[in-house]
Amino acid sequence: MSDELEPRPDNMASRARDGKGRYDRDPTVAERDAQAAALRARSLTYQQIGDQLGISRQSAYEAVKRALADTLAEPAEAVRTLELERLDGMWQAVQGVLERKHLTVSNGKVVQLPDEDGKLVPIEDDAPILQAVDRLLKIQERRAKLLGLDTPVKQELTVDAGIRWEIVGVDADVVK
């Protein structure tokens, strides 16, 4: 018996990876997973599924589990993509507000002050720009949450009984 590991039959080195660095599943495995899920939907046991597909009971269970995870992951990914596209649209709209020139208006008239030469010049209004910046930050926060970019926030709470609680991933503003 050799100390070397035998090469994997599917030659993982030649397989493509997805955007997260994981190997894409072999299409034949995905097809078998779908068949296993269809058999499970017909109330077959994992042993019966394994017998029909020529795999072990444990492999049948894992195939059904993968098929169910894929079924749930695909719609979630589609919704996440749609939400990101909507956030991109909002970002563009707010960016347009940020880049435009805004004038101060009072009683329906543009407020003007004389410059060094005595010529009346409209006063720019910074309020819409500051509001746009606040809105961009909110869009950015939502995007980060959607993509899971923020690290969980740790909070320590002490109860009167002297018990120490640690809550991870909870917004401190919510727990009050």
Tokens encoding 26: 């072999």
pLDDT (0 to 100) of residue 135: 96
Pick left, alpha or beta for residue 70 (phi over 0 → left; psi -120 to 50 → alpha; otherwise beta).
Answer: alpha
How many residues in total does the chain contain?
176
The CB-side HSE value for 40 (13 A sphere, CA atoms) comes to 20
Q: How many CB atoms lie within 10 A of CB 50?
A: 20
Nearest to 84 by CA among 134, 126, 139, 125: 139
pLDDT (0 to 100) of residue 7: 43
Name the residue ranges covered by the structural domains of the chain: 17-75
Q: Is 16 helix (H, G, I), strand (E, B) or coil?
A: coil
pLDDT digit of tens for each residue in the chain (176 aa)? 444 444 444 444 555 555 556 555 678 888 899 899 899 888 899 999 999 999 999 999 999 998 888 877 777 787 788 899 999 999 999 999 999 999 999 999 999 999 999 999 999 999 999 999 999 999 999 999 888 887 776 666 656 666 666 666 656 666 55
Nearest to 168 by CA among 158, 157, 154: 154
